[in-house]
Amino acid sequence: MSVANPYEPHFTADGPVAFVGREDVFAFFRQHLVGAPLAHGLVLIGRAGLGKSALLHQLERQIDERYRPCIIRLGTLDLAGEDRLLAALVEAIHATLEGTGASTYRLPDWPAPAEDGTPPDLRGWFKADYLAVTMSALRLRHLLLVFDDAHLLFDAIDQGRLPGDLFAYFADLLAAYDRLALVFALDTTHEDRVLGTELLSDPSLHIRLGELSRADTERLVREPVAGMLDYEDEVVEGILSLAGGHPFLLHSVCRLLFRRSEERHHAGPITAHDLTAVHTAALDQADEIFSPLWRALTPNERYSLIALVRLDEEAPGEAFSFDVVRGWLLGAGYALNKTQLAAALRGLGYNGLAIAQADTYALPARLIAEWVRAIAGQPPAQPSRPRLRLRQAAPLGGLALVLVVVIALGAAALGGFFGGEDTEDVPATGAPTVTLALNLEATRQTDLATQTEQARPTATPTITYTPSLTATPSETPTPTITVTPSPTPTNTPSVTPSLTATPRAQRTPQPTRTPITLAPTITPTLLPTNTPRPSVAPTLDPGG
């Protein structure tokens, strides 16, 4: 006879339920539901996959029978408006009364619009009419309205699909009926919003869901299949090492193992070979849990998680001190100070990605390390000081060359090397022809070198630009200024400037005046050139 698989990572109310532990959470509800009426809602906070929905469906078996839980699964609703939400409440309450055996014939019908088309006051009708009849039908029992995935209410409010005063309306309902209590189960991503909402602002009425204890984890693996199939001892240890105390991961691995055992009609125990065979599929399913967590991590938290993963590769299953983690980060070039690292490790612990014990830190599940390694990418960029890259330095070199040429031309003009309209006022000096040589070939070679350096795949060398005015032979058109004394003896010497461009190789004579030497050296340094990189082959990118 075929037996249904008792393991289910995605909880379904009508499916088989393998549930263990959580005695502390049930004790919390029993404590606060007994006594004076509550003025605030009870809040259950937990990350995805920790079993909030499964726990809420266990409440009926764990609390005083006078309290009748009515669960509204918001994840299955279209919260397009408040009327949809109130309709879901009406339907859920009706089903709860029927399950309790209470009379439902007196429950009022959904109100119709007025004759003039005015929509009905649904809030007033639900509070004054529907809940009044409901509480009467329950007699002395209490109604416990339980909102599963209550963070979706915040999302709908933010998007304008539900009114902003919705939680204030819930508070009015709570104040109107002493035998009414409200429970909100939500994801940790909205924990800050809870404290800012008056109805949910009492922290003494909050409880946070964590991973299962070691004993409960082993029970969850063994008990659902007791008497049907067995696990070899090392397989149970392997499952606990892979999944830790995370219910979703445990159900995922065990469900895959159960299917494998089904294929051979549960003949023989589940072996280490079976665990190896389902490993890849379990890692794929773990992505559903880890991807949202990874996206929500800060860069420092990602660096710290990578450090734990790399350290775990060298010593699997070990816990590492704060100084060891920080030492790895510094050695890999990630300059996190102690305060930043402490905050990052706390964030990892909050998200269930690290466990802290006596100032040591470890990974709670092997699947975490394997998932991080599986998202192979480039190593995270070092958040260090800005560096002057080659592509930034190249324009500076070109600008310097232009500046040198302009300065040289200006100096030549000031020195009288170029004639102009007022040369008649300049007495003849009888000086030989003066040639201002611009080494265009050197300039071209410098530009070529700049382009070559820009194309290099690395920015490690230091590049020095040394443009200068040189007196070297060149095979370039050379503008020549010739000063020819007038052969006519006059009181005022006549100067006839001649500008010629003679392409010839020549030794350029130096001017008789003090030579101008312009040889600025611009040395853009690429920093840092010796940034330490991870000692192991970097394969992880905390981006994205």
List domains and CATH numbers for the chain.
Answer: 23-208 (3.40.50.300), 298-388+533-544 (1.10.10.10)
Amino acid at 122: L
User: Measured between alpha carbons, how far is residue 338 from residues 260, 325, 335, 345, 529 in Å?
Assistant: 47, 10, 10, 11, 25
Look at residues 113, 7, 2, 13 and name the one whose alpha carbon lies nearest to residue 55. Answer: 13
Give kind and range of the element (H or E) at residue 142. strand 142-148
Do residues 164 and 197 make contact, with C-beta atoms less than 8 angstroms apart?
A: no
Tokens of 478: 């050379």
Phi, psi at 39, each rounded to 5°: -95, -10
Q: Where are the beta strands (DSSP E) in 135-250?
A: 142-148, 180-186, 206-208
How many C-beta atoms surround the C-beta of residue 473 within 10 A? Answer: 12
Residue with tokens 């050139």: 529
Torsion angle of C-alpha atoms 422, 425, 429, 430, degrees rounded to 10: 70
Beta-sheet pairing, 355-357 with 360-362:
antiparallel
DSSP letter, residue 190: G
Per-residue confidence in pLDDT tens, the chain, 544 aa: 577 889 988 877 666 677 888 999 999 999 999 878 889 999 999 999 999 999 999 998 898 889 999 999 999 999 999 999 999 999 999 999 999 889 899 999 999 888 888 899 999 999 999 999 999 999 999 999 999 999 999 999 999 999 999 999 999 999 999 999 999 999 998 888 998 999 999 999 999 999 999 999 999 999 999 888 889 889 999 999 999 999 999 999 999 999 999 998 888 899 999 999 999 999 999 999 999 999 999 999 999 999 999 999 999 889 999 999 999 999 999 888 999 999 999 999 999 999 998 889 999 999 999 999 888 554 443 433 333 333 344 444 555 555 655 565 665 555 554 444 443 343 333 333 333 344 444 444 544 454 444 444 444 444 444 444 444 444 444 444 444 443 433 343 343 333 334 444 444 444 444 444 434 433 333 333 344 444 443 444 444 4
Burial of 541 (0-12, 13-18, 19+ CB in 10 A): middle
For the four alpha carbons of 134, 137, 142 and 143, in that order, the dihedral sign comes to negative
pLDDT at 207: 95
Q: Which residue stretches of 244-335 are H helix?
A: 247-263, 272-277, 279-296, 299-314, 322-331
Tell me the whole-structure pTM to 2 decimals. 0.67
pLDDT at 371: 93
Amino acid at 337: N
Q: How far is Cα 227 from Cα 230, in angstroms, rounded to an integer?
A: 8
Look at residues 443, 445, 463, 444 and name the one whose alpha carbon lies nearest to residue 453. Answer: 463
Torsion angle of C-alpha atoms 219, 225, 226, 232, degrees rounded to 10: -80
Give kind and range of the element (H or E) at residue 539. none
Would you list the DSSP string of 47-90? -TTS-HHHHHTTHHHHS-TTEEEEEEEGGGS--SSHHHHHHHHH
For the four alpha carbons of 311, 315, 319 and 321, in that order, the dihedral sign comes to negative
- Cis before 528 (ω within 30): yes
Would you list the DSSP string of 398-413? HHHHHHHHHHHHHHHH
Give kind and range of the element (H or E) at residue 482. strand 477-485
* Tally of residues, the chain: 544
Phi, psi at 497, each rounded to 5°: -70, 145
| 436-445 core/surface letters (b: 16 or more CB in 10 A; e: else) | bbbbeebeee
